[in-house]
Amino acid sequence: MNLRLLVVGKAGKDFRDYESSLCKRLQGSHQFDIMELPESRAKQVSQIKQEEAKTILKTARPGFVLFDEKGKALSSMQWADFFEQQTGNASIDFIIGGAAGVSDEVRQQAAHIWSLSKLTLPHQLARVFVVEQLYRAFSIIQGHPYHKV
């Protein structure tokens, strides 16, 4: 499976080591890349969303999963079920928008909209959260003891 996490903004050094260790574990069984997309320098929220939407939609492959506070909340087991339903050498992009959120156009083009939490998370934490849940989902599928219930 070919997975990409597209994130508006850069990683902070505080989470980078943990994120890197999870990425290495994911690479063992799947192609996984994190792409940092540029943040808009515009002043108005609507313009920021519009500029970042252009970059997201130009970069993301069809069928992407958007993380949004208004999305569907899934359990770790449901993440694993989602991946088990994918066929062959599927390519899936996951999107974390910028600090201003994403435009309606991005939401409309998303195949899935998932929520990470009802809480508002800093983008750095959301990014690590997604990578950890990806690793957890594949651990569940492989019967690895990482996921303890």
In residues, how long is the chain?
Answer: 149
* DSSP helix, strand, coil percent of the chain (3-state; round to 5): 45, 25, 35
The answer to whether the CB of 49 falls within 8 A of the CB of 102 is yes
Torsion (CA) 53, 2, 21, 101 in degrees, nearest 10: 20
Residue ranges of domains in the chain, CATH in brackets: 2-142 (3.40.1280.10)
pLDDT digits (tens, 9 = 90+) for 2-61: 999 999 998 777 777 788 877 777 776 678 889 999 999 999 999 999 999 999 999 999
Q: Is the dihedral of CA 123, 70, 22, 93 positive or negative?
A: negative
What does pTM read for this prediction?
0.91
Of 35, 41, 68, 37, the residue nearest 55 (C-alpha): 37
Q: Does residue 149 surpass a pLDDT of 70?
A: no
Q: What are phi and psi of 80, to 5 degrees?
A: -60, -45
